[in-house]
Amino acid sequence: MSLQFIVAGIGTEIGKTVVSAVLAEALNADYWKPVQSGDLANSDTETVRRLVSNPGTHFHPEAYRLTQPLSPHAAAELDGIQIDLARIRIPETDNALVIELAGGLMVPLNDRDLTIDWVAQSGLPVVLVSRNYLGSINHTLLSVEACRSRSIPLAGIIFNGASVPATENFILNYTALRCLGRIGPEKTITKEVIKQYASELDIKLITSLLSVH
């Protein structure tokens, strides 16, 4: 099976889409977002499509496209549907595949299933995206603990935004996870910016850490 993994964040608006674009660019990987809530004309899939330059990336359609920018369970209810984990099937591809989640790991998909339940079911490794803010240590460690309690493999962490060494060093030392990369604060995210960050990634390290799971 080709390299497949999940990009998860410690919360919403953490930078998962930018990180997914960088990883797709670096690995010439396909991209898939299982659930899109709101902003369908300017979805995360369309955002990554605009940011990725390589011709090898294929963009797979979402399993669920919900009209309202809410938690998936609430957005689905307003749309008169219920999200079924069995319908969220990983696309078939011979290419590497980047899967971007909606929101954080504990986001509800329906009245009984959380996003992390689908992640555990998938058996795929997770690249965790952390953003530095007051409380981010707590949110990052909780996300790591949630994955480990469900035996979800973690490949490492990518930090997004302004760097805070004291925060990042504590997280990496406490969790014993590898830092896979850092994305600094950017006023505008363009194809050129994505290309630059993609070129700075240690692809051999990332591939080896993802492949051991």
Which CATH number fits the domain that encloses residue 17? 3.40.50.300
Let me know if 195 is a catalytic residue: no
Tell me, what's the pLDDT at 210?
Answer: 87
pLDDT beneath 70, residues of the chain:
1, 212-213
Overall domain count for the chain: 1
pLDDT of residue 148: 98
Give the pLDDT confidence score for residue 34 in this predicted structure. 98
Which two tokens mark 175? Answer: 């969790």
- Do 213 and 6 form a contact (C-beta atoms < 8 A)? no
Q: So what's the pLDDT on residue 212?
A: 65
> Buried b / exposed e across 75-106, counting CB within 10 Å, b at 16+?
bbbeeeeebebeebebbeeebbbbbbbbbbbe
**In the prediction, which pLDDT does 1 show?**
53
Q: Which of 16, 33, 191, 204 is catalytic?
A: 33
* 13: containing domain: 4-211
pLDDT at 109: 98
CB 17, CB 43: distance < 8 Å: no
Sign (positive/negative) of CA torsion 87, 29, 17, 145? Answer: positive
Q: Where are the alpha helices (DSSP H) in 9-57?
A: 16-27, 44-51
Both structure tokens of 158: 């990518």
Q: Is 43 helix (H, G, I), strand (E, B) or coil?
A: coil
